[in-house]
Structure 1
């Protein structure tokens, strides 16, 4: 059995990124994240999204924070669901990737 080493949270190197952008619609933001391949599967993305989402809703006065995910990206879907996001629908041929197009699944969390 291959075990991944424990996540180093107090190190001095970045293992990923979470970003929040304000959408053109009032009180709506977008969220994105990525983790370097060698650090995936250890909960860092879920922990980061769980921290950032409530902060973004409050600090940016958002009513809605959404994320768009490729349908085949099950890991990102799991991260969003684990952080309280709900899947709302599918935008067909919405994303442009490597010269082609892909659908996007829409996830969101709303302010309470």
Structure 2
């Protein structure tokens, strides 16, 4: 069962992460449709790796929420601030493969960005997407991100080097 409700709209709820969410998070971390496009490890994540990842997400400067819809877990949305005084957050999201295509990523992102810009005071949210991840590229476009550059063959995934596209969204663009 996810933790307390943080925010909700008519499509999804964002909840704090709890120990009970580790199995769902671990399952997604090991699913190739999540792991490969997200640039995750090349091999399976064991229980210890999942715990380390969740603990890292709970570090100061990181925000992570379990995305719930239809009464259960459907994914994870994160916002990391490596330099809090810079007012820039790095955004990430995954939706379980069986729940993709239902608008949950958009709905969860909207909740996160409303909080990040209006209550948390961020100036900018950034994201990176592999060139082959068409769904995430479309999500960036639908959320109003601007492509700011491409790092050619920056990351290795699924047996090859891939371009990594860099996107940014400014607070005044979101509003």
Q: Which TM class, normalised by the smaller chain length?
A: 0.7 to 0.9
Unmatched segments (≥5 aa) in structure 2: 1-11, 13-67
Partner of 1:95: 155
Match of 2:69, SS? coil
CA distance in 2, matches of 1:23, 1:14: 27
Is this contact kept in 2: 1:87–1:106, CA < 8 A? yes
RCO (CA 8 Å, sep 6+): is it higher in 1 or 2? 1
CA distance in 1, matches of 2:119, 2:151: 28
Tell me how far 1:102 sits from its aligned partner.
Answer: 2.6
TM-score, normalised to structure 2, is 0.53
Structure showing the higher helix proportion among its residues = 2
Partner of 1:18: 77
Match of 1:46, SS? helix
For 2:94, which of 34, 51, 64 is the aligned residue? 34
Deviations, residues 55-76 of structure 1 (Å, cap 9, x unaligned): 1123332111001000110101
Runs of 4+ with deviation above 6 angstroms: none
TM-score, normalised to structure 1, is 0.79
Partner of 1:43: 103
CA distance in 2, matches of 1:60, 1:100: 38
Tell me how far 1:99 sits from its aligned partner.
Answer: 7.4
Deviations, residues 33-89 of structure 1 (Å, cap 9, x unaligned): 001111011111111112212311233321110010001101011112112212221
